[in-house]
Structure 1
Amino acid sequence: MIERHPFERFSVNAFQKNKKGIDCCGDSFFVNETDNTFFCAVADGLGSGEAARKASQAAVKAIENFQNEPLERIMTKVNGTQRGLRGVVLSIFKLHLKSGVMEFCGVGNVKLKIFNEMGEWLRPVPKPGILAGQVMRFNIQRLKYPQNGWFAMYSDGIAINAKDTPTLKYLLHAESSDNIDIDPLLHSISANIVDDMTLLLGTPTKKSLLR
C-alpha cells in the first residue's frame, strides 16, 4: 500500500510492512511541511509487535509536539519518552526551505540517502546506539540539500544499493491509485523479509523546486 503525503514543496510516498506473523508494525514515521521547513523522521521500536509500536509511536508523538524546537532538543524529548518502554532507533532531518540547508540527527540504524540529479548520493551517518532514556549527547550534521534532490529514509528491514535506484524512482513517483503489487518491489530491496519495513521516498514538487 502506498501512503501519499503531498505538501506544497515536497511530496512523500510511504511504504510499511509488518514483520511476518505480527499484526502491527513496530516502526512509526512523521513527515510535515511548514512555510519554512520540511521535516521527516523514522522511528524503529526495538523488537517487534505492540511493545515496539508503543515505543516508536511515543517517539513520533514527541517529534510532532516539539517539531519547531532545535533538533537537539527534539532528540532529548524523544529520548525522555523511552523510559520504561522498549527503546527506539531514530533518524530525523529538518530541511530549511529558504536556505536549502538541512540538519540531520540519528541514533541507531535508520538510514537516510539523498540522491542528486546525477544519481550520486549523500549519506549522513547516524550515531551508534539506541534511545532508551539514558543521558546522551547528540551529533547534529548540517549539509546543503542538492537542488532537485530526492531522498530515501528507511528502517533496517530495507537495504538499498546502487542497483536499486530504478525501483526506488518507480516507487517515488507511484500514485495511490496505481495498480501496483508492492510486496515484490519491497522484497527486492529488503535486508530481512521477516522484519518490519518502513520506506519513505520524497522529492520536491515540480512547481516549487528547491533553489
Structure 2
Amino acid sequence: MVDTKYVDISVYQKAKAGNYYCGDSYYYYENDDFFICALADGLGSGELAKESSQAVMHVIEANPLMDTKQIVQASNQALIGKRGVVLGVLKISFKDHYYTYASIGNIGLMTITSDTIKSRNIPMSGYLGVYARTMKEVREPLERGTMFALFSDGIVSRDLSHTLFRQKDVQDITYAFAEKMKQVRDDDTTLIIIKY
C-alpha cells in the first residue's frame, strides 16, 4: 500500500508468463482537490509494449492537471513511432464529491459500494496511437467508502469475485487476489484497488 492522504491504494502487477517486462504501466497523483490514477496497456507484450505504456504515463505525470481530452491528444503525440495503448483514467474530486472515468479500449473499472454492490463500466473499443480519438467518459456521484478496481485485460470479471471485496483493507484485497492468481497467466496483469 502507498501513502496517500484521502484514498487508500494497493497494486498487484505481473508480467505475462515468459516475459521480463510487463506491458502495463500505471501512475497516480493526489492533492487536496483530487486524486487521479491512470492505467495503460501497451499493445502486445514485452519491452515494446512497456515503452508505449510508459510514454503515456510520462505524459500524465508531467501534467496531472490536464483534462481527459488533453491527455488523449498528448498521449497520441507521445505514441508516434511506437505501439498503441489502451488507457483508463480515474479522477476523484474531493471537493465536489464525484468521480469521472475516461477510457479507450479494454481497461476495466469496477466500483464497489460499502455494501459490496458491484458495478462494471463497459469499455469503449479502440486504442490510442494511430489518429485522434475521443475517450468515453462517465461522471458519477461519490460516496465515502466506495472502492474502485481498475484492471487490465489479464483479468476477467469472474476473477474479481464478490468475496474478494468483503475485505475492507485494499492491501488485503490485492494479497487475496495474488493468491488466486498463482497459476500461469497468458497476459500481463495489473489490478489497482482504490478506496475513498
Question: What TM-score, normalized to structure 1?
Answer: 0.84
* In 1: Cα distance, 2:82 partner to 2:52 partner: 6
Unaligned runs of 5+ in 2: none
Which stretch of the first structure deviates more once superposed, 96-105 or 150-159? 96-105
Could you tell me which of 177, 185, 194 is aligned with 2:180?
A: 185
- Show CA shifts across 1:120-155 (max 9, x none): 123333321010141112332211123310110000
5 Å-filtered alignment, 1:49-88, equals: 49-88=46-85
Which stretch of the first structure deviates more once superposed, 8-17 or 165-174? 165-174
Q: Secondary structure at 2:66's aligned position in 1?
A: coil
* In 2: Cα distance, 1:52 partner to 1:145 partner: 33
5 Å-filtered alignment, 1:42-191, equals: 42-161=39-158, 164-170=161-167, 172-174=170-172, 183-187=178-182
| CA shift in 2, pair 1:182/1:135, >3 Å | closer
Q: Which residue of 1 aligns with 2:37?
A: 40
8 Å CA contact 1:91–1:126 kept in 2: the answer is: no
Percent identity at matched positions? 28
- Show CA shifts across 1:66-119 (max 9, x none): 210222111221122111111100100111111111121100001001111222
Deviation, structure 1 residue 172: 1.9
Amino acid at match of 1:195: D
8 Å CA contact 2:75–2:129 kept in 1: the answer is: no
| CA shift in 2, pair 1:28/1:126, >3 Å | same
Moved segments of 4+, more than 4 Å: 168-171, 180-183
* In 2: Cα distance, 1:163 partner to 1:44 partner: 19
| CA shift in 2, pair 1:100/1:186, >3 Å | farther
* In 1: Cα distance, 2:179 partner to 2:134 partner: 39
Unaligned runs of 5+ in 1: 205-211
| CA shift in 2, pair 1:149/1:20, >3 Å | same
Q: Does 1:8 align with 2:5?
A: yes
8 Å CA contact 2:116–2:166 kept in 1: the answer is: no
Q: Secondary structure at 1:47's aligned position in 2?
A: coil
- Show CA shifts across 1:136-193 (max 9, x none): 12332211123310110000001133971323454724399xxx686432258xxx82
8 Å CA contact 1:26–1:44 kept in 2: the answer is: yes
Question: What TM-score, normalized to structure 2?
Answer: 0.90
Could you tell me which of 184, 190, 194 is aligned with 1:198?
A: 190
8 Å CA contact 2:72–2:134 kept in 1: the answer is: no
Give the root-mean-square deviation of aligned CA atoms.
2.3
Q: How many residues align?
A: 195
* In 2: Cα distance, 1:163 partner to 1:182 partner: 8
